[in-house]
Structure 1
Amino acid sequence: MTQLMMKQSQFLTELQTKGLRLKSADQVHVSRRGGAGPSDHQAITVDGTTLMVPIYTQTAWASPFSLSDDVQNEDVQKQGATLLSNNIPLADVTFAKDPEFYNLTTADGIPYSHIATLHSTDVLATTVLQTCIRYESRRKACQFCSIGQSLRAGRTIAHKTPEQLAEVAKAAVELDGIKHIVMTTGTPAGADRGAKVMCESAQGIKAVVDVPIQGQCEPPKDPVWYQRMKDAGIDALGMHLEVITPELRKAITPGKSEVSLDEYYQAFEDAVAVFGRGQVSTYILAGLGDTEKTIIDTCQKLIGMGVYPFVVPFVPISGTPLEDRPAPTSEFMEAVLRPLAQELVNLDMTSDKVKAGCVRCGACSSLSRFEKEAEDERQIA
């Protein structure tokens, strides 16, 4: 089947798993390289859907997808470009340009882009603590994590204060139309596991601008933190499993695996009771060894609890222990995402109902496109 004959969900899944091969370093403006969040990606808008597409991976270097030869970064930002598949024109695409708030600095001289960055087209993202007790230990670090890379490169600061976050958030909303905010954090050495800094940061932002916020942290030991985060202004919460199978958790996320699956499931139950059904989510990285059945069965359990399972394709990041691990195939992703989307539609827990964060943005996975197609098919039936 050619790309032109595919449903958009299939096409976007293939583009995201295979990546985009650059013919010249000047062709795109790289929005993310190294660091926390979607790294080594470029935000690309195709037919109205924005997707984070890998461009600095071994898979991308061999990808059939590329841009027309004469395209430069300036051209893409102004009038778009043509996406090619094996040199055959396939679709018109546009890339996000640098937001206006990137031109500003704080009173003490810190660039706003070192405090928060634009993800996709209307999402402000920040890693409040750019350090992590897991990352600092080679034995306990998540094998795919690059949270320290952007800090070492001088592209960010170790701790963003509530005042700094509030200043940047206000500017991003007023200058660039930011619609919601994602706040994540490295895990600190405390029983709250990042919940405390989420509260402080949300309070600072909500004091100056009314914008939905998703907080992301490991499950705090005391469930009282869920209500505290909610009261502080966090509208949605992410607690990320990433890997499911116990043996894989120990090998790939050795530090995080010390927080057992049972603890995670209890945390999900406690958090849903506070934030509501569909406003609690978890990342699952497909392609790290969990089987299709394991992922689908786990997702069904999570949905039944009111937790949105955000399944995304694993992207190997340069400089990490898993930098040479290939991305999952598009066939694997479709086999997981299509039934998952159907289940989410059936239970009325789709991504468009999430108030803020990665799931609402949706650019790191084609799952929301599968949801839309499942919705369309249900209406026709």
Structure 2
Amino acid sequence: MSQTETNRRLITELQSRGLRLLDESAGAPSRRGGAGPSDHKAVQINGQTVMVPVHSRSAAVSPFEAGASGANGAVQLTRDGAHVGDIRFPEAPRFYGLQTLDGVPYWKIAQLHGTDVLATTVLQTCVRYGRRDTSCQFCAIGESLAAGRTINRKLPEHLAEVARAAVRMDGVRHMVMTTGTPNFTDRGAALLCESAFAVRAAVDIPIQAQCEPPDDPVWFDRLKAAGVDSLGMHLEAVTPEVRARIMPGKAEADVEQYMAAFADAVAVFGRGQVSTYILAGLGDSASAILETSERLIALGVYPFVVPFVPVGGTPLAEHPPPDAAFMRSILQPLGRMLAEAGLRARDIKAGCGRCGACSSLSTYED
């Protein structure tokens, strides 16, 4: 087996099984709750940075364990007690030590994901979150807010201040702006426009915005004009029965409505600059995910398929993650489909697909 295939299999299995930490304080802080890769920690494996679950129930019983950090920063990774290689944990960024003039720590406004992407949830609440009969069952957007690890509304001027510092001090190369859904019209696009405009006025950094499909496609032009380079609109699940069970409110917009919005967005942002998250392991079959991905690729949309990770404090906290074999059955053919279509993670200007840390998908593109 080649070294590339060995690394690919190791990353896929780590992201499915999780990792036990002997020293949780090593490297940059892990994340609990929130709207992004939650209950994860950034890990560097042979130079590639990936997000690995460390706080999930499956991680607590994972065969993988990270030992204590050595003098050179290397950490021994073992599987069932046998050494399988060395890993590293990226250091906490320097901008985390700063705060705004009115006393808000920068890390409560935006956080480092992977090693070079700044991520923020512009609005940390959602119109559906308070009711479990409408909320997305996997979502933990309110958990980090309730724990005091973030603030509800990130002001445009604060986002600009933090982005400028992250680029200058830590070499951040692109930025992700997501949001809870504040209404059923623009669905957060207006907030994202004013936030992106402020950041781009302060620093030259590519931005991905993420929201549900707005009610009027004119918002795609407005987002582009505000400085957004790429757009994410996330399906999460692809079959009607799974969507209705897992995200009863969001599923009111069916897959066909998303497909129409994707086509409109690609016309504005360009082929390969529109993407969607698909969470494997929620009940969709591998064939259903691949069939939907084929449609997305034909539209010029990048389907970023990631393994579902159960997050504490959500109704799916006990839901098992997908195993590595299931993930490989999707990622291997999907990587080939993307390569043949000329849609590659490295060509996305900004965002989750370009970062690629939450899935081993990009390793299957080559």
TM-score after normalising by structure 2: 0.97
Q: Which amino acid aligns with 1:36?
A: A
Secondary structure of 1:79's aligned partner: coil
Deviations 1:234-278 (A, max 9, x none): 000000000111011111001101112121110000000000000
Question: Structure 1 CA distance, aligned partners of 2:190 and 2:184?
Answer: 9
Retained in 2: the 8 A contact 1:35–1:150? yes
Question: Structure 2 CA distance, aligned partners of 1:25 and 1:32?
Answer: 11
Pairwise mapping of residues 62-73 of structure 1 onto structure 2 (< 5 A)? 62-68=61-67, 71=68
Retained in 2: the 8 A contact 1:30–1:41? no
Retained in 2: the 8 A contact 1:101–1:176? yes
Question: Structure 2 CA distance, aligned partners of 1:169 and 1:36?
Answer: 19
Secondary structure of 1:148's aligned partner: helix
Question: Structure 2 CA distance, aligned partners of 1:123 and 1:27?
Answer: 20
Retained in 2: the 8 A contact 1:4–1:90? no
Select 1:302's aligned residue among 286, 289, 296.
296
Change (3 A) 1:338 1:5: closer
Question: Structure 2 CA distance, aligned partners of 1:155 and 1:40?
Answer: 13
1:275 aligns with 2:269: yes
Retained in 2: the 8 A contact 1:35–1:151? yes
Question: Structure 1 CA distance, aligned partners of 2:313 and 2:87?
Answer: 29
Question: Structure 1 CA distance, aligned partners of 2:150 and 2:129?
Answer: 17
Pairwise mapping of residues 186-205 of structure 1 onto structure 2 (< 5 A)? 186-205=180-199
Which stretches in structure 1 are left out of the alignment for 5+ residues?
373-381
1:255 aligns with 2:254: no
Retained in 1: the 8 A contact 2:33–2:141? yes
Retained in 1: the 8 A contact 2:176–2:351? yes
Q: 2:115 aligns to what? A: 121
- Residue 22 of structure 1 deviates from its aligned partner by 2.4
1:177 aligns with 2:168: no
Retained in 2: the 8 A contact 1:183–1:215? yes
- Residue 346 of structure 1 deviates from its aligned partner by 0.6
Change (3 A) 1:66 1:159: same
TM-score after normalising by structure 1: 0.93
- Residue 28 of structure 1 deviates from its aligned partner by 6.2
- Residue 31 of structure 1 deviates from its aligned partner by 2.2
Q: 1:17 aligns to what? A: 16
Q: Superposition RMSD on alpha carbons, in Å?
A: 1.6
Retained in 2: the 8 A contact 1:182–1:214? yes
Secondary structure of 2:185's aligned partner: coil
Which stretches in structure 2 are left out of the alignment for 5+ residues?
none
- Residue 59 of structure 1 deviates from its aligned partner by 1.2
Q: 1:80 aligns to what? A: 74
- Residue 23 of structure 1 deviates from its aligned partner by 3.6
Question: Structure 2 CA distance, aligned partners of 1:280 and 1:173?
Answer: 24
Retained in 1: the 8 A contact 2:18–2:52? yes
Secondary structure of 1:215's aligned partner: strand
Retained in 1: the 8 A contact 2:125–2:181? yes
Question: Structure 1 CA distance, aligned partners of 2:184 and 2:98?
Answer: 34
Q: Which amino acid aligns with 1:173?
A: V
